């Protein structure tokens, strides 16, 4: 089931996200996020933008997707960045597509005009997911990040909303 995020989802979201911080280069964060910090992020982001979670049959949050401010300058106010994370090991079951589809429905109810997705490369699943929904690659920064003793590339995909 897809629903709007609640403050009480912070612990589950931390479990999902902290796996990626600690074990992958998908997130460029280097320090695990506390439940309190995640509660603050949820409060701040969901006050202005859609944030959805996937709740499985047993009532556990096993994925989430949201948009957040792209950049600080005023001219960027109609643009946002997309983020989507699934509980490790649950990829490939269609949850990402469901979450992104519903997120785009919610975003289209707003004044947003453009969405951007930054993807650490390589990441074939994330690229395929975004392209399935019409995102097109617009840029790539080579060796822009350093994590897990490796220089990392980041590609950017964009979707102009109509």
Pairing outcome for strands 2-4 and 61-69: unpaired
Residue 148 pLDDT: 96
User: The tokens 């840029």 sit on which residue?
Assistant: 139
Q: How many domains does the chain have?
A: 1
- The CATH number of whichever domain residue 44 belongs to comes to 3.40.630.30
DSSP state of 70: S
| Under 8 Å between Cβ of 82 and 32 | no
Residue 92 pLDDT: 80
Q: What is the pTM of this model?
A: 0.94
| Under 8 Å between Cβ of 15 and 6 | no
Other beta carbons within 10 angstroms of residue 29's beta carbon come to: 13
What whole-number distance in Å separates Cα of residue 82 and Cα of residue 65? 7
Residue 57 pLDDT: 87
Walk along the chain (162 residues) and give the pLDDT tens digit of each residue. Answer: 999 999 999 999 999 999 999 999 999 999 999 999 999 999 999 999 999 999 988 889 999 999 999 999 999 999 999 999 999 988 888 899 999 999 999 999 999 999 999 999 999 999 999 999 999 999 999 999 999 999 999 999 999 998
Residue 91 pLDDT: 83
What whole-number distance in Å separates Cα of residue 36 and Cα of residue 118? 25
> Which residues span the domain enclosing 12?
2-160
Strand partners, 65: 52, 84
What whole-number distance in Å separates Cα of residue 74 and Cα of residue 64? 27
Residue 35 pLDDT: 98
Residue 118 pLDDT: 98
Residue 125 pLDDT: 95
């Amino acid at each position: 089931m897809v629903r709007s995020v609640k403050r009480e989802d912070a612990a589950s979201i931390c479990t999902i996200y902290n796996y990626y911080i600690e074990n992958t280069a998908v997130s460029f964060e280097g320090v695990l996020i506390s439940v309190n910090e995640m509660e603050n992020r949820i409060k701040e982001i969901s006050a202005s933008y859609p944030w959805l979670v996937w709740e499985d049959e047993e009532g556990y949050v096993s994925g989430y997707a949201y948009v957040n401010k792209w950049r600080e300058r005023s001219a960027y106010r109609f643009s946002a960045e997309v983020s989507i994370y699934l509980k490790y090991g649950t990829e490939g079951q269609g949850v990402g597509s469901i979450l992104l589809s519903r997120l785009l429905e919610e975003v289209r109810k707003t004044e947003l005009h453009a969405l951007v997705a930054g993807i650490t490369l390589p990441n074939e699943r994330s690229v395929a997911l975004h392209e399935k929904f019409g995102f097109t690659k617009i840029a790539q920064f080579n060796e822009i990040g350093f994590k897990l003793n490796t220089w990392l590339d980041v590609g950017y995909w964009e979707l102009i909303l109509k």
